[in-house]
Amino acid sequence: MNRSLFVLLVLLATSLMGSSFAVGKVGLSYASPLLLVGIRFVLAGGIMALAVRLQRRRLPDKLRDWAKLLLIGACQTTAVMGCIFLSMRTIPVGATSILTFLNPLFVVVLGVLFMRLKYRFYQWLGVVVGFVGVFITLGFHLQLSAGTILGLGAALAWAIATLLVKKWGADFDNWVLTAYQMLFGGLLLLALAFSLETPRLVMNGTLLAVILYLALLGSIVQFATWYYLLSKGDPGRTSAFLFLAPFFGVLSGWMFLGEVIRWYAYVGALFIFLGIFLVNWTGGNYRK
């Protein structure tokens, strides 16, 4: 791929990832968290599911495979996005995005514990550096607030989803996997919204714009661009650019919400970015 095009697409994908945090927080003024994110992913997943059917892409023909898609959706969409939107109620957008994008570091730890994956020395160094960054981001103490725990929970759920996709992803068409994990995850979020929270929806032009941005740009365009980049280049090296997403999360929180992040959060973010880069800095994240 042309290098200029690669850079442009990386910036597009990671800026959409990061800015979705700030846009989502705007939406929380008009809708309850789980309901808002549920609507986002049912809409995005529904549109993509319709598209893959119109394109006649290969769908699973076994109930077991549909169950796998459901489990991936429960982790990647329901748990990750539910934790993110609940987290943003109590801590700044920038802090939530930094904590959420710790997921590559959790992938290393969980991969060793449960999938017998092996990693190089500098990847383990990246894990240590990343968790030092979390300690700094939290203000040099380990007293975790509810928002911080939810942000870390999003990262952990994302890591689990990553390992599930690594294990089962080859069984599915990428577009089918993306569409149905979003749709199933979104439906689960709606179920949780009506059972665990008091649903609130004040529909107006602002909320409609937020939903359309999150569903069309923050979900469909973002996923499509990112999966295209992964398919055209080395996945390990491409994933190293995920460290740009929390930068855009902090930047969008400052630009659109006027959030002020304390100095130590920036220092911690630099450590986290370095840790994620070290974990991904190789021809492939994993080796047998």
**Per-residue pLDDT tens for 164-195?**
888 888 888 888 998 999 999 999 999 999 99
Q: Is the pLDDT reported for residue 117 higher than 90?
A: no
Instruction: Answer whether residue 26 is part of any domain.
Output: yes
CB atoms within 10 A of CB 9: 17
Q: What are phi and psi of 2, to 5 degrees?
A: -55, 135
Number of domains in the chain: 1
pTM, 2 dp: 0.83
Mean pLDDT of 122-138: 77
Instruction: Answer whether residue 288 is part of any domain.
Output: no
Residue 208 contacts by C-beta under 8 Å, 6 or more apart in sequence? Answer: none
CA distance 51 to 204: 28
Predicted local confidence at residue 139, as pLDDT: 67
CA distance 56 to 208: 31
Task: Give the three-class secondary structure for 60.
Answer: coil
Domain residues for the domain of 264 are 3-280
Higher pLDDT: 159 or 140? It is 159
Mean pLDDT of 231-247: 67
Predicted local confidence at residue 170, as pLDDT: 82
Instruction: Answer whether residue 287 is part of any domain.
Output: no
Helical H segments across 169-204, by residue range: 174-196
CA distance 286 to 119: 6
Higher pLDDT: 262 or 89? It is 89
The dihedral built from the CA positions of residue 157, 127, 250 and 261, taken in this order, carries a sign that is: positive
Predicted local confidence at residue 118, as pLDDT: 77
Higher pLDDT: 271 or 38? It is 38
CA distance 63 to 67: 6
Predicted local confidence at residue 238, as pLDDT: 65
Q: How many helices (H) and strands (E) does the chain have?
A: 14, 0
Strand-pair partners of 233: none
Report yes or no: 163 and 111 within 8 Å, Cβ to Cβ: yes
Long-range contacts of 112-121 (CB under 8 A, 24+ apart): 114/163, 115/163, 115/166, 115/167, 117/286, 117/287, 118/286, 118/287, 118/288, 119/279, 119/285, 119/286, 119/287, 120/282, 120/287
Instruction: Answer whether residue 286 is part of any domain.
Output: no
CA atoms within 13 A on the CB side of 132: 12
Predicted local confidence at residue 78, as pLDDT: 96
CA distance 188 to 175: 20
Instruction: Answer whether residue 67 is part of any domain.
Output: yes
DSSP assignment, residue 59?
Answer: P
Higher pLDDT: 233 or 286? It is 233
Q: What are phi and psi of 201, to 5 degrees?
A: -145, 110
pLDDT tens for 190-232 read: 999 999 899 999 999 999 999 999 999 999 998 788 777 866 7
Q: 287: exposed, middle or buried (C-beta count within 10 Å: 0-12, 13-18, 19+)?
A: exposed
Instruction: Answer whether residue 14 is part of any domain.
Output: yes
Strand-pair partners of 287: 118
Predicted local confidence at residue 77, as pLDDT: 94
Question: What's the pLDDT band for 283 if we cut at 50, 70, 90?
Answer: very low
Q: Is the pLDDT reported for residue 287 higher than 60?
A: no
Compute the mean pLDDT over every residue in the chain, rounded to the nearest whole number: 84
CA atoms within 13 A on the CB side of 72: 25
